[in-house]
Amino acid sequence: MFKVPDHQVAGHRADGGTLGPLVDDLGRFYKPLQSDQRGDTEVAFYNSLCSNTEIPSDIRELFPVFHGTQIIEASDGSGPQPHMVLEDLVAGRVNPSVMDIKMGSRTWYPEASEKYIQKCLEKDRKGTSVSLGFRISGLKAYQSSKAAFWQPVKKVVDSFNADDVRLALRKFVSSNLSLGSNADPDCLYASTVYSHGGGILAQLSRLKQWFEVQTNYHFYSCSILIFYDGESALDGCADPKLKLVDFAHVVDGHGVIDHNFLGGLCSLIKFIGDIVDEDNKCTKCEVKLA
């Protein structure tokens, strides 16, 4: 039994006869193969990833598990279509908070057409890709059983500037968003999600160390997906994870470091690190006052 993913925050959704990904009850995610060689490129990357013995096991864990391809009925009613079968990253999680971050100041690949380059350049300039080296593509944060999720609409997310990104990263780990847009985010889960020993900052740092030396691939228009258990965060059981997704425009690195992705990664680490530092200062202040 296939169904539309409940917690997809970016990309095309399989709603209303639109072609998009599906999930099943066995923890698998079915992504339609894209046209214009993009699907073949993504499948080729996953096959390369699985067979490349140079990639450390702790880095391989930061990618979804690939289960090959399968022909299933497409969500748009167009009949049987080939799909990549991947790990459903949020399967089994109760009310997960999810954020999709597109990496790099440049999202077009070297062999792209002029029309495609201009399309990407417009998006990169409109958002924060050019200025920050990354942009938020979509997010949702669980609040409570009464308030459910906070999820800004795509039009708002696409218009984020640097200050909006900083605020969104704070709201993503806050519990008081149901109080209204004027409430200062409490960052209640910042330490649990971002700075815990195995938290997002540690995983980003591990990824950064790899990108500082790896020269096999250049990742254009790739995203980092960050997610945690929103409902369990209060109990310190958020289990935050980071995964790289979307590899339709991965190209051969030809022995050169991927500075485009690495630059965005360093910028993202700085933004989240500042939130953690601010949270630590507030905690120390509260202890002193107490």
pLDDT single digits (tens) 85-131: 999 999 999 899 999 999 999 999 998 999 999 999 999 999 999 99
Average pLDDT, the chain: 91
pLDDT at 179: 57
Whole-prediction pTM:
0.93
Strands 22-23 and 148-150: unpaired
Under CATH, to which class is 96-289 assigned?
A: alpha beta
Q: Cβ(268)–Cβ(172) under 8 Å?
A: no
Q: Establish how many alpha carbons lie within 13 A of residue 97's alpha carbon, considering only the half-sphere containing its beta carbon.
A: 29
Amino acid at 8: Q
Tell me how far apart the alpha carbons of residues 285 and 262 are, in angstroms, rounded to a whole number.
34
**pLDDT value of position 61:** 96
Tokens read off for 8: 């997809």
The pLDDT of residue 197:
82
Secondary structure element (H or E) that encloses residue 268, with its range: helix 259-289
Rg (CA), the chain: 19
Would you give per-residue pLDDT tens digits along the chain (290 residues)?
Answer: 899 999 999 988 888 888 999 999 999 999 999 877 899 999 999 999 999 999 999 999 999 999 999 999 999 999 999 999 999 999 999 899 999 999 999 999 998 999 999 999 999 999 999 999 999 999 999 987 777 888 999 999 999 999 999 999 999 999 887 656 667 899 999 999 999 788 999 999 999 999 999 999 999 999 999 999 988 887 888 999 999 999 999 999 999 999 999 999 999 999 999 999 987 765 554 444 44
Residue 138's DSSP bridge partners are 100
Would you mind telling me the total number of residues written for the chain in this entry?
A: 290
